[in-house]
């Protein structure tokens, strides 16, 4: 009995935090998603409107633009991050001196404050910033990255790829250590070169790691917020509006907490579907 009480005491803080900061807020958000609540008027102002919010969002042009921009962001960041990081990790692990320092330098942006990183990139991408001057030296007129609707999401994608490379490289580096060296030795005897080793051994052996990083990167992409808030605030127009930023603006600028909760529930359903797909696919891989 005493051991059981000690065990419960250890897990109790985590359970209480989960209930207080995750489960109860989620239940409250689900409830008020069926209302048109202006939180500045207090709880007495909550007026339920059935499922009107869930019908309205599909005709909301800002919501539609937010979905498009979020999908564009995910499709742009995930393949680039995965592709570049697996190449960097394989290169660092097999042929770079001081690989610990190299991985540390790549990892620093990931653990840095996203607001500070975003400010640095805002200066870098400014019309008179270092990147514009660098391109001007080659006679290239740089676009106004963060003020051009055609370029703003591309600029944020490149910034986000740079930001997330360190994490992916660290995961791949750890996975590379589990590949038997005998495979490369056998391939060398058969006359395989480095490119063949990479495509025929490294990439297939890292498939589970790639799958994990792909799913987590997709989930992270759907939750992007810091870069948007700091660098563009959803502009110009709605060209960089993403789902999480729209949740923020609906709640704290338009004071439509019920509508914002509706969008957050829809986002939760998207992420839940991705997670369930991950579990199902991972189980099939383990059984095969």
Would 90 be classed as within a structural domain?
yes
Would 85 be classed as within a structural domain?
yes
Q: What does the DSSP assignment read for 77-118?
A: HHHHHHHHHHHHHHHHHHH-TTHHHHHHHHHHHHHS-HHHHH
The whole-number pLDDT of residue 70 equals 96
Would 37 be classed as within a structural domain?
no
Would 51 be classed as within a structural domain?
no
Q: Do residues 74 and 8 share a domain?
A: no
Helix (H, G, I), strand (E, B) or coil at 129: coil
Say whether pLDDT at 61 is over 80.
yes
The whole-number pLDDT of residue 267 equals 94
Average pLDDT, the chain: 91
Would you report the helix, strand and coil content of the chain in percent, each value rounded to 5? 75, 0, 25
The whole-number pLDDT of residue 100 equals 85
What is the span of the domain harbouring residue 123? 61-287
Q: What are phi and psi of 46, to 5 degrees?
A: -65, 120
Q: Do residues 144 and 245 share a domain?
A: yes
Number of domains in the chain: 2
Would 186 be classed as within a structural domain?
yes
The whole-number pLDDT of residue 4 equals 74
Mean pLDDT in residue range 12-36: 92
Q: Do residues 106 and 157 share a domain?
A: yes
Q: Do residues 23 and 149 share a domain?
A: no
pTM of the model: 0.91
Mean pLDDT in residue range 136-142: 91
Largest CA distance in the chain: 78
**CATH classification at residue 152:** 1.10.3720.10
Q: Do residues 145 and 24 share a domain?
A: no
pLDDT interval class at 288 (50, 70, 90): low
Would 144 be classed as within a structural domain?
yes
Q: Is the Cβ–Cβ distance between 45 and 38 less than 8 Å?
A: yes
Q: Do residues 208 and 281 share a domain?
A: yes
Q: What are phi and psi of 144, to 5 degrees?
A: -80, 85
Q: Do residues 22 and 65 share a domain?
A: no
Q: Do residues 171 and 251 share a domain?
A: yes
The whole-number pLDDT of residue 276 equals 87
Q: Do residues 11 and 149 share a domain?
A: no
Mean pLDDT in residue range 40-55: 89
Would 176 be classed as within a structural domain?
yes
Q: What is the pLDDT of residues 154-210, one digit of tens each?
A: 999 999 999 999 999 999 999 998 899 898 889 888 888 888 989 999 999 998 899
Q: What is the pLDDT of residues 262-283, one digit of tens each?
A: 999 999 998 888 888 877 877 7
Would 77 be classed as within a structural domain?
yes
pLDDT interval class at 122 (50, 70, 90): very high
Mean pLDDT in residue range 44-72: 93
The whole-number pLDDT of residue 3 equals 66
């Amino acid at each position: 009995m005493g051991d059981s009480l000690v065990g419960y005491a250890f897990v109790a803080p985590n359970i209480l935090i989960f209930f207080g900061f995750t489960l109860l807020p989620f239940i409250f958000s689900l409830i008020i998603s069926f209302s048109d609540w202006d939180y500045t008027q207090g709880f007495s102002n909550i007026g339920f409107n059935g499922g009107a919010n869930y019908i309205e969002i599909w005709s909301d042009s800002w919501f539609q633009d937010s979905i498009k921009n979020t999908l564009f962001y995910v499709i742009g960041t995930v393949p680039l991050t995965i592709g570049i990081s697996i190449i960097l990790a394989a290169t660092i692990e097999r042929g770079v001196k001081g690989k610990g320092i190299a991985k540390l330098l790549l990892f620093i942006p990931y653990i840095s404050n996203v607001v500070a990183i975003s400010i640095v990139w805002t200066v870098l991408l400014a019309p008179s910033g270092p990147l514009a001057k660098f391109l001007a030296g080659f006679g290239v007129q740089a676009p106004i990255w963060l003020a051009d609707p055609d370029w703003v999401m591309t600029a944020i994608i490149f910034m986000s790829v740079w930001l997330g490379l360190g994490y992916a490289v660290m995961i791949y580096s750890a996975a590379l250590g589990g590949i038997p060296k005998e495979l490369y030795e056998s391939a060398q005897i058969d006359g395989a070169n480095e490119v063949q080793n990479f495509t025929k051994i490294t990439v297939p052996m890292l498939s589970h790691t790639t799958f994990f990083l792909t799913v987590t990167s997709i989930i992270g992409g759907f939750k992007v917020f810091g870069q948007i808030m700091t660098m563009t605030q959803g502009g110009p127009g709605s060209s960089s509006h993403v789902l999480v930023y729209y949740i923020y603006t609906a709640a704290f600028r338009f004071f439509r907490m019920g509508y914002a909760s509706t969008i957050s529930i829809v986002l939760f359903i998207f992420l839940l579907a991705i997670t369930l797909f991950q579990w199902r696919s991972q189980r099939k891989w383990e059984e095969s």
